[in-house]
Each structure stands twice: as C-alpha cells, then as structure tokens.
Amino acid sequence: MLALHGTGAGKGIAIGRAYVLQRAGVEIPEYVLPKMYLKDEVARFKAGIANARVQLEDIRNHIPRNAPSEAASFIDTHLLILDDKMLSREPIDTIQKQGYNAEWALKVHSEALMTVFEQMEDPYFRSKKTDVEQVVDRIQRNLLDIQESSHEEVDDALDGSIVITDDVSPADTVMLKHRSVGAFVTDFGGPISHTAILARGLRIPAIVGLHGAARYIRNGDELIVDGKRGVLIIGPDKQTLKEYRQRIRRIAVLRQELHAIRKSPSVTIDRQRITLLANIELPDEIRSAKKVAAAGVGLYRTEFLYMNRDDLPTESEQLSAYMRVVKSMGRSPVTIRTVDIGADKQVNGRAEKRGMNPALGLRAVRLCLHDPTIFRPQLRAIYRASAHGRVQLMIPMISSVDELHQVLEMIRETKSELKREGRAFSTRVPIGGMIEVPAAAVAADLFAEHLDFLSIGTNDLIQYTLAIDRVDDSVNYLYDPLHPSVLRLIQMTIDAGERAGIPVTMCGEMAGDIRYTRLLLGMGLRAFSMDPTLLPEIKKVIRESEIQRLMRQAKKVLRATDRAEVQAILNKINTTPHH
C-alpha cells in the first residue's frame, strides 16, 4: 500500500480500478513557406479553429442534464477564447508577414499570451491561463491532425474507474462525468483552476497537482481517491478499504441530510436567523445560488466583464449583465461589487504601470478613482440596474475615509446625471464597503458612519494583516484565519457594525468553511456569503448550533495567547453537540 499526497479538488471518496491515460506532448514543427502557399496556410489555420469549434459544440451537447450551470459556462469560456481576435489575429499576421507555418505562428503568439497571464496577481485570473492553453492545445492537435485530442474518444472502460492523467481540461471533465468515471487524478493544476471548480460542481472526487502519480500505477490497480484530503492510496489493505467504505456510507447519509434541509430556514437552535448569501462571478451562476435557496447575492464579482478583451465593457453591456442577475433574483438583494482590477491585473489596452508590490498598488477602488472612465460607466450601470430589483453597491479595498468620500461624491454625481437624463434608478441603493485592508478593520467605526453595510473580505484581510502574498505558494503555510490578529480585526469589524446599527457580512473564503462557522457565530457574525455549493453544509452547522453557548466560547478563543490554544478551544467548539 502506498499513499501519495496532492491537492484535493473535487470532494468525496472513490474506490476503483486505475485507468492510466497519458497524452503525449505535442511536438510543434517550425518551417517557412514560399509566398504562394501563405494564403492556403492562413486557411488551414482558420480550419483548425473551425474544427475546434465543432468539437467544443459537440461536447456542449453532451453535458449531462444534471450537471451544474458552470459546466456549460466553462465550455462557453473556451468558445469565447476561440472567437477572440487576440488568439487569431497575430498568428495570421505572422503567417502572412513572416511566412511561418500555422502551428509555429500559433505557438509563438500563445507563449507571449501565457506570459501576460502568468504575471497576473489574482489566482482566479491566473487560472484563466489554463483555459487559453487548453484551447491552443486543441487547435494545435487539429492542425497536426492528432486524433486523440482529448478524452472524448476513450471507450466505456472508464465507467467507475479512476482516471490517472497529466491534465484534464474543463471540457474533458464534462466528458469524464458523462462516462461516469469514479474519480480523476492529474499531474498538474491547482485548487482554484477551472477544472477543480468544475469537478466540485459535478461532484467528481478529484486530486490535482499530484506530479508523476502514473509512475507508481499500472492499469487495473486498485485505488482509493480521497478528494477532500487530496490523498491517493495505491493497493489499499483490507483495513483501509473497510474504513473508506464506512466513510463513503457516512458521506451518502450526510448528502441526504443536506438535500433534505435545502428549503429549511437558516436558524440556530435558539431561533436566531442567519443570512446565507451566494458569491457569484458569472450571471449564469445565479442558477446554483437559487438551487440552494440563497437569500441573495452577497458578492457579485464583476471582474469577468473586463477580462479577455482590448476595450472596456460599455455601460449598456454591464447593464444587461447586471439586469440578468438582478431580475432573476426577484426580491432578493444582489450586492454588486465595483470592479477589483489593476496593478498587474491589467485591463487590456489600459495597462497600468506595474509597481514592485502589485497587491499594494493601484488596484480596485484606487484604480477606479484614478481613472473615472472605468468607474463612471460601472456606477451608471449599477444604478440603472437598481430600477429592476434590489441592488446593493459594494466598494472593494477601501482603506481611507477620504477615499470613501470621493466614491460617495461620484455616486451623488452619477445619480444627478441619471436624473437629468430622465433614467430610472432606485434612490435607496444600500452602499457597503469591503473591510479587507487592516486599516479599514481597525477604524471600521469611522467607515461604518458613512455606509449602509460592511462586508469582511478575509482573503485580502489575511494577506495584508499577515504580510503573506495570497498567490505565493512558498508562504501559503502562514496563511491562517485563526491568527489572533486576524480574529481581533474580524471582531473589531463586527463590533463596529453592531454599534453603528448596520449589518456586517463576511464574503471571503472563511465564510464558506465549516471549521469557522461556529466561531464566527459566537463572534456575532449574522450574515455569510460563499460559493453556493458550500451553502448547505454551512446551513447544517448553523441549524445545529446555539448562539448563547458560542458567544461564551468565542470570547475564550479571542483571549487565547497562542495558536495551539486557539486550535484546542476551536476543536472543542466544533465537536461539542448542542441541543
């Protein structure tokens, strides 16, 4: 028996036989063509793209009926990339002007594009690089006429098996689900890659980033994939198999319980109502939010509208995206966060100079105030969308009250402008600030005076408090939501909101992690916003908790003097049953 450790991507456990599926890397030829053949070469390049479209559309038609909405949107992302002139214009130019073959022209250009993606700070956008890579790989295989371009061709032997492979594209993930694989394990990929997100959505147990696993495995070997812990067990002994079979049974019972409480209210044992909201990035994700009966959208990240393009999204483009979300949420609130780009997350065509510390640079609201041509159309679109439902406006990365005053002034100007033009909008859009910079947490009371709600962004708050780059693997081990300084800042924010009589939400990853739910309830948090797939588990914890007890215990956690003591008290909080 051998256990290998990677990164758990899709939760759940699978026991099955190995199916090793190694794809050989594609060798890209380089040659120069005589002028008379260049027209045909451009046509060949375009045909490669056209074939890729046919293949992706075919995969889209195979998406299982019960697949989450993300499945289609991932394929759509690939189709959009395929459509993007950025991908085809330069290679065509290289073929026409320099006479290179289509494969080489595409390789040279895509490598330049990858470098841009690699320099992006935000892990979410950096993970987009993988999508572009996968699309480029698909076109290359078409150009080179390589048939086994993906796992689509693989036969029914996959049913129930555990696929061991180098990498899986989101499109392949859908096909793996379609062929009922038990689980998959890849050499590459990280926990927030599209493939990982999709595996979670499709409920396929998966481990990513397990380099070289295939070296230890032969086709047909018995394997266990523990997707939650990221552990792959090769040739398990009897005792281990027995333990895992028991865990599978327990997970099945838990799933039934979660399904059963889908429509139940989110209340604690002592009848305290807790608001559970969804984080979304694409309008389509509203479907997942509604499926788990989220009380609204606590964080609508709008960055997506600005990426993969040369220009800025127009006001009307933004308006239609926001309206889709707002209308489909009916009477439930939708919190639209103004765009969080900048520093090295460049808006194409408007590259800001990159500083030494991009996370400390001109990003989010700083960039918006610096360049009103970005901010104004968004504010106008958000307000115009407010005529169609319950919109809330949220400002990211706010760090000084002066900054807040400037934003509020621009909002006033936007409203007068819209009024002059006779456009419909709500005069009662609640305005909130994200508390994600320590300065804002320490002085949360000063911000609360001018705002209608606060929302704690723990992803950045932890990064800035502990001086840990959230995208740097080498310091990941220091990223700790339970660090006493982080807990104190969260407590200060909750208390400031309570004193000012305004709601405080948490929308960072910590809000969707059941290890912290009881502690946060005890600290006074009453609204949590998270990835919709996590919402039922959080609701279950809430329904099994008694706030009065937790308040006493949370105080003990805040008084603890070292990290080990914090952990010990928390373990007790999380394991003690409440009645």
| Residues designated catalytic | 194, 507
Structure tokens at 497: 């909101």
User: What's the helix, strand, coil split of the chain in %, to 5?
Assistant: 55, 15, 35
Rounded Cα gap, residues 288 and 532, in angstroms:
6
Amino acid identity of 426? S
Q: Which of 403, 460, 509, 531 binds Mg ion (CB under 5 A)?
A: 460
Q: Is 303 in the site for Mg ion (CB under 5 A)?
A: no
The option from Mg ion, ligand PEP, none interacting with 432 (CB < 5 to 8 A, set by class) reads none
CB 365, CB 407: distance < 8 Å:
yes
Which of 10, 8, 535 is closest to 288 using CA atoms? Answer: 535
CB of 369 to ligand PEP, least distance (A): 18
CB 121, CB 344: distance < 8 Å:
yes
Q: Is 122 in the site for Mg ion (CB under 5 A)?
A: no
Q: Which of 436, 471, 486, 524 binds ligand PEP (CB under 6 A)?
A: 436
Of 226 and 460, which CB lies nearer to ligand PEP in the complex structure? 460
Residues 447-486 that bind ligand PEP (CB under 6 A): 457-460
Rounded Cα gap, residues 569 and 113, in angstroms:
49
Q: Is 394 in the site for ligand PEP (CB under 6 A)?
A: no
Which of 106, 172, 108, 116 is closest to 140 using CA atoms? Answer: 106
Phi, psi of 364 (to 5 degrees): 50, -130
Of 41 and 436, which CB lies nearer to Mg ion in the complex structure? 436
CB of 24 to ligand PEP, least distance (A): 37
Of 394 and 418, which CB lies nearer to ligand PEP in the complex structure? 394
Rounded Cα gap, residues 522 and 548, in angstroms:
8
Of 158 and 394, which CB lies nearer to ligand PEP in the complex structure? 394
CB of 507 to ligand PEP, least distance (A): 5
Using DSSP bridges, classify how beta strands 183-186 and 162-165 pair: parallel, antiparallel or unpaired.
parallel
Phi-psi region of 244 (alpha: psi -120 to 50; beta: other; left: phi over 0): alpha
Q: Output Rg (C-alpha) for the chain, integer angstroms.
A: 25
Structure tokens at 248: 């599978």
Of 134 and 529, which CB lies nearer to ligand PEP in the complex structure? 529
Which of 576, 454, 567 is closest to 516 using CA atoms? Answer: 567
CB of 152 to ligand PEP, least distance (A): 34
CB of 334 to Mg ion, least distance (A): 18
Residues 286-325 that bind ligand PEP (CB under 6 A): 299, 301
Q: Is 342 in the site for ligand PEP (CB under 6 A)?
A: no
Q: Is 340 in the site for ligand PEP (CB under 6 A)?
A: yes
Phi-psi region of 562 (alpha: psi -120 to 50; beta: other; left: phi over 0): beta
Please, is 242 exposed, middle or buried when counting C-beta atoms within 10 Å of its C-beta (0-12, 13-18, 19+)? exposed
The option from ligand PEP, Mg ion, none interacting with 508 (CB < 5 to 8 A, set by class) reads ligand PEP
Cβ atoms within 10 Å of 236's Cβ, excluding its own: 18
Residues 419-458 that bind Mg ion (CB under 5 A): 436, 457
- Sole residue written with tokens 């990677």: 6
Rounded Cα gap, residues 183 and 213, in angstroms:
14
CB of 126 to ligand PEP, least distance (A): 13
Of 323 and 440, which CB lies nearer to Mg ion in the complex structure? 440
The option from ligand PEP, Mg ion, none interacting with 130 (CB < 5 to 8 A, set by class) reads none
Of 63 and 286, which CB lies nearer to ligand PEP in the complex structure? 286
Stretch that binds Mg ion, among 160-168, 350-358, 460-468, 534-542 (CB under 5 A): 460-468
SS3 421: coil
- Residues touching Mg ion, count (CB under 5 A): 3
Residues 485-524 that bind ligand PEP (CB under 6 A): 507-508
Residues that bind Mg ion (CB under 5 A): 436, 457, 460
Residues that bind ligand PEP (CB under 6 A): 299, 301, 340, 436, 457-460, 507-508
